[in-house]
Chains A and B, each alone.
Chain A
Amino acid sequence: MKSHRWYTPWLLLAPPVIWVLVFSLWPFINTVVLSFTDARPLQPVNPVGFAHYERLLTDEQFRYALITCLIYVVVCVPLLTIVPLLLALLVEKNIPGIALFRTTYYFPVIASVVVVALIWGWLFDSRGIINQALEWMGVVDQPVAFLVDRWWLLATAILLTVWKGIGYYMVVYLAALGNVGKELHEAAMLDGAGAVRRFISVTIPSVRGAILLISVLVAVSAMRVFTELDILSNGTGGPGGYDMSIVMLIRQVGSGLNGNLGYAAAISVALFLLTLVPLVAIALLNREKKAKVPA
């Protein structure tokens, strides 16, 4: 049954499709083209072939940025996959006052990065409340240089990312948990399964999709980390620039009036390819699962 004119769906879809083409796809294609040139702002442009990509392989700064991002991924993925799930289980039940807790846990997500950065920069200052607390408790006698040591800085930034991200992923889990039938739990209890057992054998399998989705989302956004490290390190990327993330490097290389746009574009393309890795991984995992079902 034909229920609409042939052009109706296209009319309805025109705004989003046009927006995506103009504000997303077209700039990306441009970036790819740019990565094969020696472009600098306001200067004439010449093609350079794969020179920028060859430079990537030997660039020490890129290597450190890659290491920083990989550490970010490796630490954030388990933390932001597991902690929000536990938190979601904690707030899932409709006990009195639960709305208050759920809502509050989401506050860090809705707060502006600018605001959060102002607050955290102050908390972790050498005279900030964290250092004062540590000194008061006698844990340290000199302020800890949270923001100028390679590993402390990374740890502080990761903590900020986790703090700001937990609420978001908690909500995703809440959505997924809403679909888990009570029958499964009850059946498991009939079998005498305890809470931990039920968590492993009922909850985890039933939110398996959400777990996979979240770990990919976390991995991709951890690869693209920028704001936390940039603000906490005062834009320097820490001593030696060891704490620079890939996006920070793109910015350092490509911004300003003398920016090396071609090389910055090449790093962007590399970053894009790196973020594809987790996406491909999940696609493969899903296919594997489907293949097993009939068997």
Chain B
Amino acid sequence: MSLKTEHPVEEQQEQQEQQEQQVIRKDHSYRRKGSGDFSKPTLAGLIGRYVLLTVVLLLVIGPFVWQLSTSFKGPADDLYTFPPNLIPTDPTIENYIKVTDLIPVYKYAWHSLLVAVGAVISSVVLSLFGGYALACMKFKGKFIALGILVSTMLLPGEVTITANLLTINSLGLANTLWGVFLPGAIAAMNVLLIATACRMIPNDVLDAATVDGATTWQRIRHIVWPNVRGMASVVAIFTFIGQWDDYLWPLMVLTDPNNYTLTVGMAYLNGNFSPDPRMIAAGTMVALVPIIVLFSVMQRFFFNGVQEGAVKG
């Protein structure tokens, strides 16, 4: 395999680096130096790392920053100059007010929030029950249930949406936020994720609880839940993001602009009026900022949950 061929040049550099380290940290034993290299890189390495991190950072947030800057630009700012003015020369928050004259952005954001929070609650609770049953209980037909859940991950989501619309219509939920919420109330993927986490709980612990006479509910509440909270936060964040960003489904369900969610409202804004890019930018920021703030606040739980073994290879 080509991957396994020698890389003389890189290795030489490697060796040089190691020699440098040996010079710098003479007081350490060889092994300590080795592990030191692993978790505490050299100063040059550290700087290089930060430089790389920053370059990637700029690539990632550049487009967002450009949009943010546009949203604060006043009418006197030329949008088409180069090099671009990242700092508006005629700064204003006017765009954030004017955009609400066109569409009720903040009301739409509230609708999105309702749907997303509802889905988070139902997903976490129902996945916890389902995941626990799959992972920790013995019963006939387990493989049938598992098979049904896994099969959806193979099926193309592209084909289900309209059939779902008819289901929702026949339930009398057309044009309601309930209709938007329902199909996403629980996803097979989330059940499987929680089941993975449940499998990590030692059997002895659960058995001991059973001997003590704990009911199923008590076991879930006092043993399972504390052990899978990390994974539950991953499920919660995935669900929230998915619902907040979803576009096509709410577009199909909601008929009346009074009931729109934020993404549908944004597309409506873009299609129905042709205001200047500054106002569109303000609208996109309203859609973007809450979810970015939420994620930034929750990121610790998210990354911890992930590293607990969320998505195992």
Contact = CB atoms under 8 A, between A and B. Distances in A.
Interface residues of A, number: 96
B contact patch SS? helix
B288 interface: yes
Contacts, number: 264
Contact of B163 (A12, A27, A276): A27
Given A107-B61, A112-B288, A189-B35, 9 more contacts: A4-B216, A8-B216, A10-B139, A13-B130, A186-B38, A209-B312, A265-B159, A268-B156, A268-B159
20 contacts: A12-B129, A17-B145, A17-B149, A27-B163, A30-B163, A99-B300, A105-B56, A112-B247, A112-B266, A115-B284, A115-B288, A123-B66, A132-B82, A174-B306, A176-B311, A178-B307, A182-B39, A186-B38, A194-B10, A268-B156
Contacts of B23: none
Given A112-B247, A175-B311, A194-B11, A119 B63 contact: yes
A174 B307 contact: yes
Nearest to A190: B34
Interface stretch (A18-26, A66-74, A287-295): A18-26
B95 interface: no
B247 A113 contact: yes
B38 A182 contact: yes
Interface stretch (A55-63, A148-156, A210-218): A210-218
Of B60, B191, B284, chain A has the most CB atoms within 10 Å of the CB of: B60
B118 interface: no
Interface of B: 3-4, 7, 10-11, 13-15, 18, 31, 34-35, 37-39, 41, 46, 49, 52-53, 56-57, 59-61, 63-64, 66-67, 80-84, 126-127, 129-130, 132-134, 137, 139, 141-142, 145, 148-149, 151-152, 154-156, 158-160, 162-164, 167, 183, 185-188, 191, 207, 210, 216, 241, 244-245, 247, 263, 266-267, 270, 277, 280, 284, 287-288, 291-292, 295-296, 299-300, 303, 306-313
A250 interface: yes
A110 B291 contact: yes
Interface string A107-127: 111111111101110110001
